[in-house]
Structure 1
């Protein structure tokens, strides 16, 4: 359910853009859709993740600038800014509390050596930097419709591939006793 709610604003942006060929109209839909998404998450879970708030702020500010100045570049830069902020957060998180951000998110579910957590975290940093750079390349090189398609399908596809790659990496680096415990738990079900 939460994943669907998270995906809804970009899906609406995509649909409105392709129905109207108007990025300003699509952005006008994106802003309240993102506000509604965050409000729903708050109502349903009584908490909103920091990353959702950052994304909301950037949608409102950069989307608002797109509409006010009639310039799509603002909304096109938003994914890059978000990804680079994520990269920065992943990079500096160990300075505040010692643990990497990825370990804070997954550490209760998976036991890994500190060096492995650091490598995973740096992989996320590199991924977010690359995704932001690819976004700039696409919107500077291709037409607006191609960028909108990339925003939905390209970024989602790249993220899924990266997560799958991380799954393979994690499986190779998990302690054997953790793997066998999980296998036994599956057998009990």
Structure 2
């Protein structure tokens, strides 16, 4: 349900994982026990909490967190207000499309926008590596937007939640791991003394 919020690295790893994936896991559990409307409310509250905790602990909120939070609150609000789960099911498509458009815009203007988000984690990647990573992630986001559109139209709400929480999360992790060869191949070597 949630895209990782990209909590800055100053936060401990267990807390970062909890802030990134806690709202998603809580959404899944709440949906199983109380239904999609309760799950949406829980998800919205925990996204806000994750952003606040990140701000308090690091002094900043990443653009990715702001975008994800705004879309979750907007589409979650419509879901609750109109009592229509289609809005929360549309939210991933919108977020994936925004991320893909932003990355493709960065490529078109020769600005590796993915580098702004991930440079601290991978400072040694060269310009060609950032170009390839940006292209690959943009294509993934396009694929995820299409997959979400198919899933939200073809699956029941409970099946869609399972697909989103377990399928998309696993696919995203596998995709991230598959980018390791690019990271290794395009790592700039430090100058020899």
- Calculate the TM-score normalised by the size of structure 1: 0.84
**Quick check: 2:27–2:42 contact (8 Å CA) kept in 1?**
yes
Structure 1 residue runs of 4 or more that deviate by more than 4 Å after TM superposition: none
Q: Deviations over 1:80-128 (max 9, x none)?
A: 11111111111223566x430233333762232x333222211111011
Question: How do 1:1-189 residues align onto structure 2 when only pairs under 5 Å count?
Answer: 1-20=15-34, 22-94=35-107, 98-104=110-116, 105-106=118-119, 109-112=123-126, 114-174=127-187, 177=189
User: Per the alignment, in what secondary structure is the counterpart of residue 84 of structure 2?
Assistant: coil
User: Per the alignment, in what secondary structure is the counterpart of residue 179 of structure 2?
Assistant: helix
CA pair 111-59 structure 1, distance change in 2 beyond 3 A: closer
Q: Deviations over 1:25-69 (max 9, x none)?
A: 111111111111111111111100011111111111100100111
User: Per the alignment, in what secondary structure is the counterpart of residue 36 of structure 1?
Assistant: helix
Q: Distance in 1 between the 2:125 and 2:60 partners? A: 27
Name the count of aligned residue pairs. Answer: 175
Q: Distance in 2 between the 1:167 and 1:137 partners? A: 29
Q: Deviations over 1:7-29 (max 9, x none)?
A: 11111111100112x11111111
Structure 1 residue runs of 5 or longer lacking an equivalent are 182-189
Of structures 1 and 2, the one with the larger relative CO (CA 8 A, separation 6+) is 2
CA pair 5-111 structure 1, distance change in 2 beyond 3 A: closer
Q: Distance in 2 between the 1:81 and 1:133 partners? A: 11
> Offset of 1:172 from its aligned partner?
3.6
How big is the alpha-carbon RMSD for the aligned residues of Structure 1 and Structure 2? 2.0
- Calculate the TM-score normalised by the size of structure 2: 0.83
Of Structure 1 and Structure 2, which has the larger fraction of its residues in helix? 1
